[in-house]
Amino acid sequence: MHDPAIEDALASHGRKLLADRAPAWEAFAAGELSEAEVIAARREHESEAELHEHLEMFRPFSADERDNLVAKLLTLPGEKHVPAPSLPTAKVIPLWRRPMAWASVAAAAAVAFLLVQPIRGPSPQSQGSLPTFELEVNGGLATQRSEGKVTGVPKYAADTEIEVVIRPQVRAKHPLAAKLFAFNGEQGQLLSTPIEVADSGSVRLKGQVGEVLKLAPGTWRLVFVVGATEALPTSPGAVKALESHTLHAGPGGDFWVESMTLDMTSP
């Protein structure tokens, strides 16, 4: 018996629990990254011991493990659970994946449901984890990368060319959309700038600054949000304080945030 309302609530709660985890490990758990790929993505951020520990923690469940875990967690009160007959009883499962060791059965159910939901096909409001993205800005006086050191704020005039590319580390599994917000001090606005989004999930903004951004002189912080259309925030206040280069969970699903700062010079 499946209740869509309960399933959506479990998926939403699971996304919140997983929001703080590195997206590369989530992609590995979902089978989107190989062991070699996730090690390459996280080697600069984790020690060898941490890499080994996380490989065991996030290694994808086998089909039998998934079936048995979800059957236990979703068994209704009074129903008898019949374990999957082919489940290896001697297999050691890391502690965080043993639901009875968790403080909250509801939390275990939410995360387990989120992990197996793609197998049944995600609902429109639960598209699963997004890939990790990288930001590159060309134009102005410098090139800025999301994981690199930036020296100074790039300056642009109205006729200066700008190109902003936000590339996923792996191809997106679902159609994505993007929005752009601009902040000048405490004031923010949603720009109507046309943004290209490729089937792969790559996002691109290109053109003369005066035509594509239409911003007044001053220092501006541009915030890009990428995700499924229904997951994207629509108000500046919803994104103003969000950390950049990070996956965030919203009411409509997960979305990725990238930001950059630029100076618009006077004519």
**pLDDT surpasses 70 at 56:** yes
Is there a single domain that holds both residue 254 and residue 140? Answer: yes
Give the pairing type, strands 253-264 and 246-250: antiparallel
The pTM (predicted TM-score) of the whole model is 0.51
Is there a single domain that holds both residue 158 and residue 202? Answer: yes
The pLDDT value given to residue 208? 92
Is there a single domain that holds both residue 137 and residue 90? Answer: no
The alpha helices in the chain, defined as continuous H runs, are 4-18, 23-29, 35-42, 48-58, 63-73, 105-120, 209-212
Is there a single domain that holds both residue 217 and residue 104? Answer: no
Is there a single domain that holds both residue 145 and residue 225? Answer: yes
Range of the domain at 202: 133-264
89 falls within a domain? yes
Q: 85-95 burial, b for 16+ CB within 10 Å, e for fewer?
A: eeeeeeeeeee
Contact 154, 212 (CB under 8 A): no
The pLDDT value given to residue 153? 83
Distance CA 166, CA 172 (A): 12
Mean pLDDT of 254-266: 93
39 falls within a domain? yes
User: How far, in Å, are 55, 76, 159, 193 from residue 211 at the CA level?
Assistant: 47, 58, 8, 9
**3-state DSSP call for residue 155?**
strand
Comparing 115 with 182, the larger pLDDT belongs to 182
The pLDDT value given to residue 105? 45
Distance CA 174, CA 229 (A): 11
Distance CA 10, CA 65 (A): 19
The count of other CB atoms within 10 Å of the CB of residue 11 is 20
Contact 133, 257 (CB under 8 A): no
The pLDDT value given to residue 34? 85
Comparing 50 with 68, the larger pLDDT belongs to 50
Is there a single domain that holds both residue 205 and residue 152? Answer: yes
User: How far, in Å, are 30, 64, 95, 97, 145 from residue 115 at the CA level?
Assistant: 7, 14, 16, 11, 32
214 falls within a domain? yes
Of 120, 152, 184, the last residue of a domain is 120
Domain count, the chain: 2
Q: Crossing angle, helix 48-58 and helix 35-42, to 10 degrees?
A: 140
Contact 156, 265 (CB under 8 A): yes
**pLDDT surpasses 70 at 163:** yes
Per-residue model confidence as pLDDT tens digits over 58-73? 777 666 666 666 666 6
Confidence of residue 162 (pLDDT cuts 50, 70, 90): very high
- CA 149 from chain centre, in angstroms, equals 23
**pLDDT surpasses 70 at 110:** no
The pLDDT value given to residue 42? 84
